[in-house]
Structures are given as structure tokens and as C-alpha cells.
Chain A
Amino acid sequence: MNDMIFTAIVIAVKILVVLAVTLGLGAYLTWYERKFAGHLQARRGPTVVGPFGLLQPLADGLKLMTKAPILPKGIDTKLYYMAIMMALVPAIMLFAVVPFGPSFKIMGHEVKPIVANLNIAILYVFAMGSMAAYGTLFAGWASNSKYAFIGSLRKAALIVSYEVVLGFAALSVILLAGSMNVFDIVDSQIKSGIWYIVYQPISFVLFLFCLLAESGRVPFDIQEAEAELVTGYNVEYGGMKFGIFPLAEWYLNVLALCAIATVLYFGGWSGPHIFGPFSGFIWFLVKTFGLLFFVLWVHWTLPRYQAKDVVEFAWKYLLPISIVNLVATAFFVYFKG
């Protein structure tokens, strides 16, 4: 009985921590991105609200919350609301299988800093990743606007193309680790002392392409395309209903996929113990934010490609490369041992 209460408390604390970390970070990533983009373009970014503009996300949130609730004419009301849920819920659910650090002990119980230690974690990531496409599709279909509809169809085309490549890219890592559990994958990297990016550089590059495409970052942001589609699928949403879409897609999805990439290719929390007892957690965050920094850098540097180019690129180049990479990895694992 005592054990059950302990487990319940642990799960509640984990969920609270995940929600606080993801929503707080998600909000503050908007500040970070604007600041970053500003300095990249020889501007200063937000400076007015608070020191260094640090209170800007709070001001933005307040502003979004107090906007008038508008339902556009001729929308499909059920789908209109469901789209918001389908965008936000899978984006947060991705964090359920992110291991934030090594397991530790509290009161004689071993606690793993992960909400759900699934044995099919990577498969679960793909499931939730493709669920996010429904949010976009529903939003575009329900809003009764052609801009939104075109944007959502483009996004769907992009996601279905890169989903396949993502699967093949991650398969070669699973082949090396022999498990889909995130803890097993990280442990096998720590045990051998070599991160999988050394064995799988091609797979990592493919994963990076898919990360950018799935989260709608430049150069794959054809569904946004400010110049031609205004902002694409969420043009008819307003207030907090609008605020959820960029939060889920641009920040939470990117953060979650960066964390998964860290687990798959950069050895998760492995690293020298130079930060005391929390060094595992700090290393994990450092690696994740390093990847995030790269994503933002790419976003604010490159131009946008046409929908035609990026979709054909996925099927005609990335998919054959990923299949060849998988076969090569299978050969490697078979003849190594």
C-alpha cells in the first residue's frame, strides 16, 4: 500500500515537472528566439518589457488571453476546437518518453526521471509525431479559409514524406542498440563509450532534416510561407487559440525532437561528472539546447524552398539513402558480432 502511494506521488510530481518545464521553456523560447533572431540580423530584439525584455513572454501571454473570442463564419466548430487539442496534446505527450537524466534513489526507491518508461518509446515518438499532422489538417479544413486549407495540405504532404525517412533513420540506431527503450539506448552508448553519431552520421543528418520538416522550421516552412499564405493553417485562429499553434509546433515539437535526437545520437545524459550530482541532467540539457541552437540558426539563416522541391527531395534522395544506410548498418551489426 505504501508503495502504491509512493508511486502515485512520484507520477504526480513527474507530470508537474514535465508540464512546468515544457510550458515554461516553451514560453521563454519565444523570447530566446526573438532575441537570437534580432542579434543575427543586427537588431536588438525585445528590450522594452523588463530587463533585456525578459518579461516579454508574460506580456505576450497576457495579451493573447485577453483577446476577444472570435469564431469565423462558416467554420466546422467541432473540428475547429479539436484541432487545437490535437496540436497541443501530442506535442506535450512527446515529453512523456524523454529521459531527463540517470535514475536516482529517493527513500530506498529507484526513481527514473521519465514519465512513462515504455519499452516501445521510439515507436511511441513516431506515433505522437504523426498525430501532430492531424492538428494542422483539422485546423486548415475547419477554418473555412483557402489560405488555411492550402497551408494545411502542404504541411500534411511534408509530414507524410518525412515521416517515412524518419522511421528508416531511427531504425538503424535501434538496430545498433537492440532496443526501443530510451534508457537501454543511452546505457548501450555509455557502456561502449561511443555515441551513435560516430557510427551513424548519415542517419543523424537524415534525422535532422526530418526534425526541421516535422516541426515546420525553415527551410521546410512551406505551410507558413508568410509571403504567400499569410501564416497558413492558423490564419483564422485568434487569441490564446492562436497562441497554442506556434507554441506546440515551433517550440514544443522542436524541443522534444531535439531531446530524442540527443538520446539517439549524443548519448543522452552521458558526460564527465563536472557539475556534481546533477551533471547528468545538465549534460542532457546542454546537448538538447545545443541542437536547438542549431535549429534556430538554420531557421534565421536559410531561405525557404518550394513545396515541390522539399517533397520530391524526401522521396527521391532521402528515402533511398536511408534504405541503403539501413542495409549497411545491418551488414555492420551482423559481421561485427
Chain B
Amino acid sequence: MAYIGLLSLLAVMLGLSVILISLNWLLGPKKKEPYKTYPYECGVPLYDDTAQTTFHQGYYILGLLLLLFDIEVAYLFPWAVVYNFLGVFGFIEVFLFLVILTLGLVYAWKKEALDWQFDLESL
């Protein structure tokens, strides 16, 4: 029942964003000029035709770390809600869970996965 409001808001927002996007077509001037669509690069001609190339693997490692820790957090949410009913069982269980999680963090730290990877580029 609560999700009806959510879905209708989503529908309204999708419509509204389409309107906002198309406003420039409706109201703006449409004169064509040769360099109007040229990508911005500080006024010099482009060095490469496309900017959609490879990117540094440091971002990839951050993504992996997010997968690891954010999913652990997702596991902890249900535990936090019913914690008062679990007693000593919930307490010890999650303590062990967090210890294992912290070991993962320490491991990543030791492997220098938490460091910003870009310093290696200068070597």
C-alpha cells in the first residue's frame, strides 16, 4: 500500500524530467554553426577523437572494495532492526561477523588497496 505513492511519484518525476529536458527544444533558438557542437578542451583542437577510453585501475579497486563492504552493511541492516529480540545470540554472532569483516579491511590495507593508486603512475 505504501508503495503506491512511491510509484506514482516515480511516474510523475519521469514525466517531469522529460519535459525539463525538452524545454530547450521548445523555447530555444535553433541556428546551426560549425563549431557549436565541438567538445570543450580549453580552446585547443582535440588531441583524441573520443574521450571514452580506458581509465585507471585504481577506480576499479575502489569499486571492488565497495562491493565487499556495502553488501556487508546490507546484511547488517536486518540484524539492527531485530537486535533487541535476539539476545546474546545476536550479539556474539554479529561480533564474529564484524571481526571477519575487519580482518578483510586489514588485509586490504596491508595489500595497499586502500591507497590512492595514482602515485604509482609516476614510476
Q: Which of B9, B66, B76, B91 contacts A334 (CB 8 A)?
A: B91
Question: Is A241 positioned at the interface, with any CB of B under 8 Å from its CB?
Answer: yes
Majority secondary structure, A binding face: helix
Question: Is A84 positioned at the interface, with any CB of B under 8 Å from its CB?
Answer: yes
Q: Which of A18, A236, A327 contacts B9 (CB 8 A)?
A: A18
- CB pair A72 B39 closer than 8 Å: yes
For residue A178, which residues in chain B have a CB less than 8 angstroms away from its CB? Answer: 80-84
For residue A175, which residues in chain B have a CB less than 8 angstroms away from its CB? Answer: 80, 83
Interface residues of B in 21-37 (CB under 8 A from A): 21, 23-25, 27-31, 36-37
Determine the distance from Cα of A320 to Cα of B86 in the docked complex, in whole angstroms: 25
Q: Mark A150-183, 1 if CB is under 8 A from B, else 0.
A: 0001001100110110011001001100111000
For residue B95, which residues in chain A have a CB less than 8 angstroms away from its CB? Answer: 327, 330
For residue B23, which residues in chain A have a CB less than 8 angstroms away from its CB? Answer: 65, 239-240
Question: Is A147 positioned at the interface, with any CB of B under 8 Å from its CB?
Answer: yes
- CB pair B17 A244 closer than 8 Å: yes
- Please tell me the number of chain B residues within 8 Å of chain A, measured between CB atoms: 67
Question: Is A67 positioned at the interface, with any CB of B under 8 Å from its CB?
Answer: yes
- CB pair A93 B91 closer than 8 Å: no
Residue of B4, B28, B49 most packed against chain A (CB within 10 A): B28
Q: Using a CB–CB distance below 8 Å, which chain B residues touch chain A?
A: 2-6, 8-10, 12-14, 16-18, 20-21, 23-25, 27-31, 36-41, 49-52, 55-56, 58-59, 62-63, 65-66, 69-70, 73-74, 76-77, 80-84, 88, 91, 94-95, 98, 101-102, 105, 109, 114-116, 118-119
Beyond the given pairs A118-B3, A244-B17, 18 more chain A to chain B contacts, judged by CB atoms under 8 angstroms and listed by A's residue number, are: A66-B24, A74-B39, A92-B9, A96-B6, A96-B9, A116-B9, A117-B2, A119-B2, A149-B51, A167-B73, A174-B77, A178-B81, A180-B77, A308-B118, A315-B114, A323-B101, A326-B76, A330-B95
Q: List 8 A-B contacts (CB under 8 A).
A: A72-B37, A73-B39, A84-B17, A89-B14, A92-B9, A123-B74, A160-B66, A319-B105
